[in-house]
């Protein structure tokens, strides 16, 4: 953690979803064990995630929006081709699995503590409302959030400022009254640059990105978040 002092003035907390609350690599590792080469599974998963994000950024810059489900499928097509896989049944199963991603072990206990403290919680995600509804329902945490916000309302993707502006609008608060929590360094940079008190969940002990916008705190786990927010 980059600071041991609780953040001040926080009146709500927004979470990223993919990679922050839910493990995006689990579907591939669970469904490619039959390949026999763990390197293929890892290469597919890493490429899928990388292309998924790249396509969101590029589409935003190009001004040619497609929803996150479409982008996720297009990224999977590229990733499968990159490792020589053409199995349409496998593709369908991987896409289905994205609607039922497993939560990280520290996610639900952290949400329980924050809910008990009566801090309003929300989600701000690239995912569509259908995708978010499905993954939250599978994990049994739908009711833990006051606001579930999809970028589709802004017809853009993170780190567009129009996307981050959806959070203050939903809560009726100023950006610096909201903690924004993400495991994606670029997302944290975008949120901090917009004006949130951004918290980076640095699960992989990665170096910081050289981008505008610095996190207020860096945590290795969501478990430390309630203390940081003065709620644990």
Q: In the sheet that 147-150 helps form, which strands lie side by side, from edge to edge? A: 147-150, 121-125, 12-15, 178-182, 197-201, 217-219
81 Cβ neighbours under 8 A, 6+ residues apart: none
Count CB neighbours of 88 within 10 A: 8
Q: What angle do helix axes 68-82 and 88-97 make, rounded to 10 degrees?
A: 140
16 catalytically annotated? yes
End-to-end CA distance of the chain: 15
CA dihedral for 47, 53, 58, 63, sign (positive or negative)? positive
Catalytic choice (16, 67, 187, 224): 16
Q: Are 204 and 156 in contact (CB under 8 A)?
A: no
Which of helix, strand or coil describes residue 13? strand
For residue 137, give both structure tokens: 């329902």
Q: Report d(CA 212, CA 192) in Å as an integer.
A: 8
Q: Report d(CA 130, CA 150) in Å as an integer.
A: 10
Q: Report d(CA 198, CA 124) in Å as an integer.
A: 13
Q: Which residues are catalytic?
A: 16
């Amino acid at each position: 953690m980059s600071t041991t002092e609780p953040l001040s003035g926080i009146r709500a907390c927004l979470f990223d979803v993919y990679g922050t609350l839910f493990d995006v690599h689990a579907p591939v590792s669970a469904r490619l064990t039959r390949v026999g080469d763990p390197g293929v599974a890892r290469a597919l998963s890493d490429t899928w995630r990388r292309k998924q994000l790249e396509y969101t950024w590029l589409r935003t810059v190009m001004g040619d929006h497609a929803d996150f489900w479409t982008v996720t499928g297009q990224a999977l097509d590229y990733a499968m081709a990159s490792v020589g896989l053409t199995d349409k049944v496998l593709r369908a199963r991987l896409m289905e699995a994205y609607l039922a991603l497993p939560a990280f072990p520290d996610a639900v206990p952290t949400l329980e503590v924050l809910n008990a403290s009566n801090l309003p919680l929300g989600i701000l995600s690239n995912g569509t409302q259908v995708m978010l509804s499905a993954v939250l329902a599978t994990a049994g945490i739908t009711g833990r959030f006051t606001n579930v916000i999809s970028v589709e309302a802004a017809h853009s993707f993170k780190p567009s400022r129009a996307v981050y502006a959806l959070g203050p609008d939903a809560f009726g608060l100023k950006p610096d009254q909201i903690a924004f929590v993400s495991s994606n360094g670029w997302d944290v940079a975008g949120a901090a640059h917009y004006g949130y008190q951004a918290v980076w969940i640095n699960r992989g002990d990665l170096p910081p990105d050289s981008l505008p916008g610095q996190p207020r705190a860096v945590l290795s786990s969501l478990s430390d978040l309630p203390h940081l927010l003065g709620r644990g």
